[in-house]
Amino acid sequence: MIDYSNFAEDALLARLTDLRQDHADYDAVISALTATPLPEMMLIGRLKRKKLALKDEIGRVEGFLNPDLIA
């Protein structure tokens, strides 16, 4: 896990942009694999777990950008 406490705001915004793009990329790949006639469910499951980890990471970065929103 990355410690974002020492990151500047512009670095956090850049990281957030990268994470959101990666999340969207995983979503596209999962959708494409799911649409195949014989989808590889093991691969799709791994990709979904990675996508979820990205979502959690996005939440952590957003928390550092907007600490007042975290209760």
Residue extents of the structural domains in the chain: 8-62
Of 4, 2, 12, 43, nearest to 26 by C-alpha is 43
User: pLDDT category, 68, cuts 50, 70, 90?
Assistant: confident
Q: In whole angstroms, what is the distance from residue 37 CA to residue 3 CA?
A: 42
Is 29's pLDDT higher than 90? yes
68 to each of 56, 63, 64, 65, how far by Cα in Å?
A: 18, 8, 9, 9
The pLDDT confidence band at residue 70, using thresholds 50, 70 and 90, is low
pLDDT at residue 71, rounded to an integer: 52
Q: What is the pTM of this model?
A: 0.88
User: pLDDT above 90 covers what percent of the chain?
Assistant: 83
